[in-house]
Chain A
């Protein structure tokens, strides 16, 4: 059975991208309070041009900024059980889910996409922090397993961009079980000899850091991101003293040997392209039979952009350039 066609057939979704109608033409930087014109904000990949503060990115923007020409194809994720515990606190979990779905336009806190980076085929899984704090429940675990499966089937590296407060409490013990499940996903990619790169973004904490997010062959952290296991308040309550300057920030993790590098957002794509190139094309260029050319080759499964599918993606069989796996 062909998993790609029968299980998570990549759908060319006419993306209902929340067409940015800026409510405000001016944004205030949460760090330095200076005003930023919305066009400058977009141009600078949501990094404050005054102080360099890296604002959180939704997965659509994240994927568009990483893939060649901002083109990629999202993968329809397997269905996961909804509200397995029938959880309710002051509010029902199903209602919280519906709210988050309406707000983000996503089914859950993860998006998995396939596309090219400098011509190289890559699978990227990006988290949506707006969706219940990017928390990890069964659906996110399924997303990670699907991303790994897709990477193995397409013989493509896997890049994961977490932004998550940790486990999703409302799924109780099943959310905790996503830790081993996502570790298995990573293991499958590694066993296939494929690179697995993690890009830690603000914030990545709790059960997410204590599983797939710390197991990258290469660990990259975006500047100034909060990354850690225990919450700062929990630690303060335990040790009863204030935390050191810059505690749990990317730069602090680098200093303590926990990540390979800290990058500015504008350098992220070039860094990934360089690293993936080194890990994938290991012999002199002359020996590489067909170095993919980003200008002439289109992604094999078609693609889409925030503006909707491009004409080329609908023409012909998207699988034609590759034998069925």
Chain B
């Protein structure tokens, strides 16, 4: 069991040509590489990562997974993603630490409960477990919850989703890297992609700071930077606003929260990691920026919100506060597209603050897309043209706006 350790992903020579190049050693990039190799025999793949793998959202997220989305375009995708964790844990022989603790979303008013009812019924319609609960049941699930009239927004009810939980985000990055590398994928860290070469409407190469790579296919999976790269390299404008999003953890505690708890009204969610920290996230910055700076305002807001819901946490300390980028589309659903209008150019971005849970399954279907050149049915609703046609996806009911007018 503890024999001499080998590198999880070996150092690889940089070649001048690959069958496929992936920009970004995040979750989506690594997952796509893995499935290209696993399902399609395309192993001559390079993952090009500017910093180190997991530098972006992959290493900064709060690792919540669930499949209780609002629309039928999304639920099946996320359901498959949930089912994949144990499968991949085994296949990669790497413990991804799926902690299937279930998610409790709190409603603080009639309108939210109504919105939740749609999510719950949609989940049930697709055979995904999810149910509405009353305040007493909320308290049974999370004894630390204050269901009295004391909080600013008293608990009115909630939505409980047993199949969800948390996964160790770093493990997913390393496990996929290990699995991909084992199948022959080259992972080049500390390498920046600086351009994409095209000829007659087709991708022919990728420029990096370590030289040119010839390739017929490239996937832009650069997370928060994907839209900027798309524009810089190919003048393709994506309807994406990038905003800093912050998260923080408390010092580690003995078990207190047995479920992920969240509240849209308070802009706040919290869950206890297996290490015992309460990880909690805040809403995005109010306007677009690439800073990844934390702010005094948010950590304070988070403490206020969290302790309204869970007053005992007043006696707990915040230990670390960080930020990453959320790349937001106008309908809070991602963009997965390819071969349009440039043959061989694929994008997988717009994952905002929800792209961890979907990363593996997305990798699976993007790999299929790249291998076959045809968009799999399950990804069709996520194509770019929906914005040109002004037909947004219904993932969010409320009007969202992340542009500078916001």
Binding between chains A and B: no
B residues near A (Cβ < 8 Å) are none
* A interface list, Cβ under 8 A from B: none
